[in-house]
Amino acid sequence: MAQKGILSYRRILPVLILAVLSGLFSFYVIGCGPSQADYVEKRPDIIPLEAMKQFGDLNRPVVLFAHDLHTEAIIADDTGTVCLQCHLDISAESSFKYMRRTDEDAETVMNIYHDNCLACHQEYEEAGRESGPLICGDCHLRETVYELSVSPLALDYSLHQRHVVAAADSCGICHHVLDDEYAEVYGDDRIVEGVSRGVSGPLRSCRDCHLEEAVEGVRSMRQAAHGSCLSDCHLDNEPRLATCGSCHDRTRQASFATMENPPRLWAGQPDFMLVAPGAGERNQAKLGSVPFSHVGHESFTSRCRSCHHVSLQPCHECHTLAGSPAGGGVTLQRAMHDMNSEHSCVGCHEEQKAGADCAGCHGLMEQGRLSDHACQICHAGPPPINLADVGGRYNSLDDFRPARAEMRLSFSEDDIPGMVSIDILEDQYGPALLPHRAIVESLRRDIAANRVATHFHGHEDVVCQGCHHHSPVGQKPPLCESCHGEPFDEGYIHIPGLYGAYHRQCIGCHERMNIEPGRTDCEGCHIKKKPGEKSL
Amino acid sequence: MADMPAAAPAKRSILTPFNVIAALIVIVGIVLTILRFTKGLGAVTNLSHSNPWGFWIGFDLLTGVALAAGGYVTAASVEIFGMKKFHSAVRPAILTGFLGYSFVVVALLYDVGRPWRLPYPFFVSQGVTSVMFEVGACVALYLTVLFLEFSPAAAEWLGASRLRRLLVRLTLALTILGVVLSTLHQSSLGAMFLIAPSKLHPLWYSPYLPVFFFVSSIAAGLSMVLFEGTMAHRYYADRMDEEHMAEREGVVFGFGKAAALVLGGYFATKIFGIALGNNWALLFTPYGLWFLLEMFGFVLLPCFLFAIGVRDRKMGLIKTAAVITVLGIMLNRLNVSLIAFNWHLPAAERYFPSWMEIGVSVFIVTMGLLVYRFIVTRMPIFFTHPHYRSGSHGEK
Amino acid sequence: MTVSRRKFLQWVAGAGIGAMSAGTARAAHGVFEGYPGSYGVLHDTTLCIGCRSCEKACNEVNNLPAPEVPFDDLSVLDEKRRTTAAAYTVVNRYDEIEDHNRPVFRKQQCNHCLEPACASACFVGAFTKTPEGAVVYDVSVCVGCRYCMIACPFDIPAFEYDEALTPRIMKCTLCHPRLLEGKLPGCVEACPMEALTFGHRNDLIAIAQERFRKYPGRYVEHIYGQHEMGGTNWFTITGAPLEQIGLRTDLGTIPAPEFTAGALAIVPMVIGLWPVLLGGIYAINRRKEKIAQSEKETEVDQAVTATRGEAEAKAKAAAESFKKQKEKAVESAVKKALAEAEKNKGKEES
């Protein structure tokens, strides 16, 4: 019996179908949770507004604030000190909070943000100018559209010298602690290279006091830089640098004017010295000290922090023999020899080896380990226990290492084969013609042009080892086929066969050094024979 | 008057619309068959190395087998569960099943590279680690079972009463065997895809695939019997006897009730499948929407339609629900084998059947319909043979 | 021929037990680490220069048809290719890899899995994992069903769709016939950079790890194929992120046959239990029918008896009343006759 009541199927069916379809559609539309937008803009000025986090869990996604957009909008009005429009206090001691000095409670802080931000946005909107969002979801975006990409600003020698010139040699403007000491110690003398030698008190760098985090009354480097550099100087003087991007954008940094050959930044460092553990530990170190040309190495770096990565103190003061908390537990040995660090001696030298000029040989060699013979090249000085004069400053290092002579060939020209014809595997291709002497000459030239290479390849026979590897150095190195025979020999699984060895060696080197012939240009090395042709 | 010629009896023209269209389809089908066996699969299909199975597997094999499940479902309900009031539905269901499986094998002859080697897994080299081996064995055996279950009708038609008596004695055993074999191969058709978890979308891939395929085959069988019954009553009512006509309503409402229950249970198992894989988040993706459409539109909706139709005694609703269910089964099988399969491949490498593949499938279905027509117009499918009328409720 | 239910069930049980014992009794937690001494190949993409010598050698060694574009034409690398019915292996070029100023090349071919999905899937057992490590294909039993192509997680097997009557599956054989002769696979022999290292599977792992140690930072320290899909005999090591050079990292470490082992294991259970279940239901139904039948009969009997009793009683009462009526009628007739007689008598006297 058909029921004709309210629940009759004829009426309920369309409703049912509609409900199902809208349910399906809503599944799709609602999605689930925050997501990454298709295009994420990388900017140096993104500040996540996270002040509310201290009060508990957040209801809405964190607002990613693009500071420069706002600075640029306000600068256009030219209303005097830009910062004060939003920051109540930009003095040396302030913390740059938005429109407040302290964080009282969740409600207050939230209202400060909402009331002020929206008021300004509203104002600009009504004035018909480009403005910001007015509804919640447009600031509290669920999709990530911004990403912080800030290039740290390095005050290298060139930039420092530009500031010296701009400050008309008044060091105390930036090196403010020494305002009083300056006159007392240095008189009116300007701190330039060669002057005031012998004075032991170094002109300290900002970072000696202004660390990563603020410490009892001393602002962090970040606070100091933005607080003083910006607000005391750059906001009001030319060039007017008020936005994050003007300093921290990689492209802008590349466009900074550079000074050719800035004078040496002297903070009391020696020209030449012997690197050894700290005074208290010298009797424990047996290995020879390292004669070190500080002045020479300064020319390889753009700033002190390349090596003095925390402060200007000597390395051994934080990096003791056994490691100390000040040095983050990093022992002196690791600080000097860590192959993966940018700041260690060996780490920097490794970076040099990675360049195309070196990679031809070094790419084939086992990496990640110090070769045993290299120790002697650096540790050429007297053992620290014999050092009477702690701290040692020397006028030259000639006493400690053999005279730095030009790369000399212990082999005469005639000893080095000119053209080598490799025909042992001749089959579909003719013999490979190797311009042997030309290659040696080219390598010699590359090494001579690089001071690290020259220092470490003091004995040029070492060059031969790039190809004639795993064998004793000599005028007549063993033939390749002495060790490289049939491939996949079960007793020698790590040694390639001759066919693979030749190609890996040659093609590998050409690839790493980016030289012709290219890898698939077979005939660049050996001519292809016509089918049936016996030999060329 | 004696010398007046008698009026010629009215003749039914052979050129009915159905016959004409069927003839065209058959002609095209024969051409396509020749193409397939002279030029190879590449000339007729859009199959590729990344998409080795296409419409013939997805539709003819998987959907065909699922929809032919009415045979074992109906036979089981009458012979094992003792629901005598569905008795008139048994023979049509068995016939649909038998023809369905037969033409699945025909479709396989097209799809497989060397069809004459199809007996190899039984007689030459057994790949017992393969789910498909089990599918093949069960389908072959089940086809035999169906043939034996169908053959009493043929025997009656041929007048071979001793043979018929012998065959009828086997009914219970055949029915039980039929259910066993059907459970095995219906579930194993789903189990075949278990070996490729990296290719099937997680919403369709589940360790429960065999269960899903088996349960949905029951719903498919019930719905197909309803649909086929609707068609039969429309076109072959004149061949139906009283028992057939009288039982019709009972069959419709009884099967409708069963279908509602089975579909409801199937929907629940699908939810458990998502829970097992913890794939809730995937429901919010485009494929998720497609999955929800299949579930809500083609499983839950007919479930409710069946239920309402049974409660309110509306045969029309039940017939509609049956059609939706059949389409839903086809959608599910196509999803598992073609649409959600290789879902991660870029659009340019996805598969869509060529018109020739669809043409061959249509050809096979048409041949099935023609054979069906031949049988129901001659053999006692919709009526009880007069010899065996009284007290012949399955002589045992 | 009558088959009793008991006999039938015995047959089925026997078949079930037989099937269980003959089935693939594979320990669920066993791990197959390869036949001892089996060979494999280590492909180092940092050495591959994309010269296609391996493709050329494979084509020659296997007598494959000549390609449309010759092997020294490197412009085909502009497009991504896959293995085809005429190419057991292809090299692909991957540009714009992060931290790489050069493109990365990778050769792809059958990985010769330890527990191949193709071998598990093939229902005529056309694939065999040989002790040498190669997975080889027997064309003499292949039916052309292409289930192996569905199963292969690396999408390697190709099919001769253009062959009408004798289509084959085409895939790398690791040059198994050459291996048996002590020769190297064609591609390995041809590679000028020895980017393909041939050796025992364990040795290849050692070689790969030695390279990781010797050149820190050059490689992604993962031997692809060591554990993927239960492990393969073909390894790839590379300096590029695996996904960026077309290596799927979401395949897991479960060997393919384990995915279907569960479903196959249930088969004997169904064969054993379904007949019991269904037979039981049938028996219960029959019993119910019988009981219903006998109850019906009893009721009918009772009804008949009751009705009969009633009828008899009625008949008796009717007979009684008829008798009474008759007596009364006789009586009244007699009275009437007597009265008549008396009347007649009186008439005669007067």
pLDDT at A409 over 70: no
Tokens 């296997």 belong to which residue?
A: C62
Using one digit for the tens of pLDDT, what is the confidence trace for A13-37?
777 777 777 777 666 665 545 566 6
Same fold, A157-254 and A412-524: yes
Integer angstrom CA distances of residue A143 from A33, A37, A41: 9, 5, 12
pLDDT bracket for residue B303 (50, 70, 90): very high
Using one digit for the tens of pLDDT, what is the confidence trace for A52-71?
999 988 888 899 999 988 88
Query: A151: alpha, beta or left, given left = phi > 0 and alpha = psi -120 to 50?
Result: beta
Q: What are the extents of the domains in chain A?
A: 1-28, 31-148, 157-254, 272-397, 412-524
ipTM surpasses cut 0.90: yes
The per-residue pLDDT for A244 is 87
pLDDT bracket for residue B10 (50, 70, 90): low
A31 interface with B at CB cutoff 8 Å: yes
Q: Which residues in chain C are closer than 8 Å to A501, comparing Cβ atoms?
A: 194
Establish, for the pair of chains B and C, how many residue pairs have beta carbons separated by less than 8 Å: 193
**Which amino acid makes up residue C92?**
N
The per-residue pLDDT for A212 is 84
Distance from CA of C244 to the nearest CA of A (A): 19
Q: Which residues in chain B are closer than 8 Å to A27, comparing Cβ atoms?
A: 283-284, 288-289, 292
Chain B residue closest to A28 (CA)? B284
Q: For the sheet with C234-237, list strands across it.
A: C196-200, C39-44, C234-237
The residues pairing with A63 across neighbouring beta strands, listed in sequence order, are A49
Q: Write the residue in A3, A20, A31 that is nearest to B296 by C-beta.
A: A20
User: Residue C260 and residue C23: Cα distance in Å, rounded?
Assistant: 13
pLDDT at C237 over 50: yes
Using an 8 Å Cβ cutoff, are B230 and B248 in contact?
no
Using an 8 Å Cβ cutoff, are A364 and A509 in contact?
yes
Give the three-state DSSP class for C2: coil
The per-residue pLDDT for A194 is 29
Using an 8 Å Cβ cutoff, are C235 and C205 in contact?
yes
Tell me whether residues A20 and B300 touch, CB distance under 8 A: yes
Using one digit for the tens of pLDDT, what is the confidence trace for B106-137?
999 999 999 999 999 999 999 999 999 999 99
User: Residue C130 and residue C149: Cα distance in Å, rounded?
Assistant: 20
The stretches of A354-460 forming alpha helices (DSSP H) are 356-362, 374-378, 436-448, 451-456
Q: What is the mean pLDDT of chain B?
A: 93
Between A56-70, B250-264, C80-94, C97-111, the lowest mean confidence (pLDDT) is in: A56-70
Provide the CB-side half-sphere exposure for B197 (13 A, CA): 18
User: Residue C119 and residue C233: Cα distance in Å, rounded?
Assistant: 15
Query: A33: alpha, beta or left, given left = phi > 0 and alpha = psi -120 to 50?
Result: left
User: Residue B281 and residue B279: Cα distance in Å, rounded?
Assistant: 5
pLDDT bracket for residue A153 (50, 70, 90): confident
The per-residue pLDDT for C19 is 46
Say which CATH superfamily domain A412-524 falls into. Answer: Cytochrome C3 (3.90.10.10)
Using one digit for the tens of pLDDT, what is the confidence trace for B156-195?
999 888 999 998 899 999 999 999 999 999 999 999 999 9
pLDDT at B24 over 60: yes
Provide the CB-side half-sphere exposure for B189 (13 A, CA): 29
A98 interface with C at CB cutoff 8 Å: no
With 0-12 CB in 10 A as exposed, 13-18 as middle and 19+ as buried, what is C345?
Answer: exposed
The most distant pair of C-alpha atoms in chain B lies apart, rounded to whole Å, by 88
The per-residue pLDDT for B1 is 47
Q: Which residues in chain B are closer than 8 Å to A30, comparing Cβ atoms?
A: 284
Tell me whether residues B114 and C267 touch, CB distance under 8 A: no
Task: Determine the average pLDDT of the residues in C153-161.
Answer: 97
What count of other Cβ atoms lies within 10 Å of the Cβ of residue B216? Answer: 25
Q: Which residues in chain C are closer than 8 Å to A480, comparing Cβ atoms?
A: none
**Which amino acid makes up residue C110?**
C
Tell me whether residues A490 and C213 touch, CB distance under 8 A: no
pLDDT at B149 over 90: yes
For residues A375 and C112, the model is more confident at C112
Q: Which residues in chain C are closer than 8 Å to A504, comparing Cβ atoms?
A: 47, 193-194
The per-residue pLDDT for A386 is 64
Q: Write the residue in B292, B305, B314 that is nearest to A27 by C-beta.
A: B292
A383 alpha-carbon distance from chain centroid:
34
Give the three-state DSSP class for C170: strand
The per-residue pLDDT for A281 is 74
**A157-254 CATH fold:** Cytochrome C3 (3.90.10)
Using one digit for the tens of pLDDT, what is the confidence trace for B311-349?
999 999 999 999 999 999 999 999 999 999 999 999 999
Q: Which residues in chain B are closer than 8 Å to C264, comparing Cβ atoms?
A: 129, 131, 134, 191
Distance from CA of C200 to the nearest CA of A (A): 8
Give the three-state DSSP class for B228: helix
Distance from CA of C278 to the nearest CA of B (A): 7
The per-residue pLDDT for A177 is 59
With 0-12 CB in 10 A as exposed, 13-18 as middle and 19+ as buried, what is B58?
Answer: buried
User: Residue B176 and residue B315: Cα distance in Å, rounded?
Assistant: 31
Tell me whether residues C210 and A368 touch, CB distance under 8 A: no
Tell me whether residues A28 and B286 touch, CB distance under 8 A: yes
A162 interface with C at CB cutoff 8 Å: no
For residues A385 and C174, the model is more confident at C174
- Secondary structure, 3-state, C186-236: HHHHHCCCCCEEEEEHHHHHHHHHHHHHHCCCCCCCCCECCCHHHCECEEE
A272-397 in CATH: which number? 3.90.10.10
**A31-148 CATH fold:** Cytochrome C3 (3.90.10)
The per-residue pLDDT for B61 is 97
pLDDT at B94 over 80: yes
* B336-339 CB contacts, 8 Å cutoff, 24+ apart: B336/B62, B336/B190, B336/B193, B336/B200, B336/B204, B336/B209, B337/B53, B337/B57, B337/B58, B337/B62, B337/B193, B338/B53, B338/B54, B338/B55, B338/B58, B339/B290
Q: What percent of chain A has pLDDT over 70?
A: 83
A17 interface with B at CB cutoff 8 Å: yes
Distance from CA of B139 to the nearest CA of C (A): 14
pTM: 0.84
A511 interface with C at CB cutoff 8 Å: yes
A23 interface with B at CB cutoff 8 Å: yes
Cβ neighbors of B99 (< 8 A, separation 6 or more) are B68, B368, B371, B372, B375
Q: Write the residue in B284, B301, B314 that is nearest to A28 by C-beta.
A: B284
Between A226-240, A399-413, B213-227, the lowest mean confidence (pLDDT) is in: A399-413
Using one digit for the tens of pLDDT, what is the confidence trace for A475-526?
888 999 999 999 999 899 999 999 999 999 999 999 999 998 988 999 999 9
pLDDT bracket for residue C10 (50, 70, 90): low
The stretches of A387-535 forming alpha helices (DSSP H) are 436-448, 451-456, 461-464, 498-513
The per-residue pLDDT for A182 is 46
pLDDT at A278 over 80: no
Distance from CA of C79 to the nearest CA of A (A): 18
